[in-house]
Amino acid sequence: MNISVPIIETARLRLRAHRAEDLDACAAMWSSPIVARYIGGKPSSRTDTWMRMLRYAGLWSMLGYGYWAVEERASSKFVGDVGLADFHRELTPSIRGIPEAGWVLDPACHGQGYATEALRAALAWADVNIVHDETACIIAPENVASIRVAEKAGYIERARTTYHNAPTILFMRSRRST
């Protein structure tokens, strides 16, 4: 599958393909303990971030969907990552084969509504372009801000489970009619 990453624009944000020149900003974000707190707990190295960015690019060619870099439209400042993937997680109940939404923002961009805006844009694209009836997301129970973002995007708690021996909430969202 050869697919180009679509560019999506919202009132304040642009979702676009990651570029090599995003590495500095992306690595700074992923190395933050604030970012890592609910995502494995360990900040990522620059190499780990580069490998993540390569994975993002591979998602699009393998699945026809993936992750976008999020930037402010006005300044082109890197804000974070948002998108969908099928990571084949060992999770009960299984979400294998179901697109899983994820988002992460630079801590300097928290509290501005960017996560909700970016996620809604990604899901609106998915509702039209991905042939699945629902999407999933998993969130640590103590990550109240991300739970709010998920709920604003239409996710509903489906199950309490564990992932990597940590409590996790599984949320599901049905595709919106277009």
pLDDT band (50, 70, 90) for residue 2 = low
- pLDDT (tens digit per residue) in 17-67: 999 999 999 999 999 999 999 988 899 999 999 999 999 999 999 999 999
Mapping DSSP to helix (H, G, I), strand (E, B) and coil, where does residue 117 land? helix
Helices (H), 9-113: 23-30, 33-36, 46-63
Residue 11 tokens, joined? 């009132």
Q: What is the mean pLDDT of the chain?
A: 95
Which helix H or strand E contains 126, and what residues bound it? helix 114-129
One DSSP character per residue, 85-101 reads: E------SS--TTS-EE
Residue with tokens 């489906």: 158
User: How far apart, in Å, do the first and last CA atoms of the chain sit?
Assistant: 25
**pLDDT score at 40:** 85
- pLDDT (tens digit per residue) in 97-128: 999 999 999 999 999 999 999 999 999 999 99
Mapping DSSP to helix (H, G, I), strand (E, B) and coil, where does residue 104 land? strand
> Is it the case that residue 178 has pLDDT exceeding 60?
no
For residue 61, give the amino acid letter: S
What sign results for the dihedral spanned by CA atoms 169, 9, 126, 49? negative
Query: How far is residue 146 CA from its own chain's centroid?
Result: 11
Q: Which residues pair with 13 in a beta bridge?
A: 72
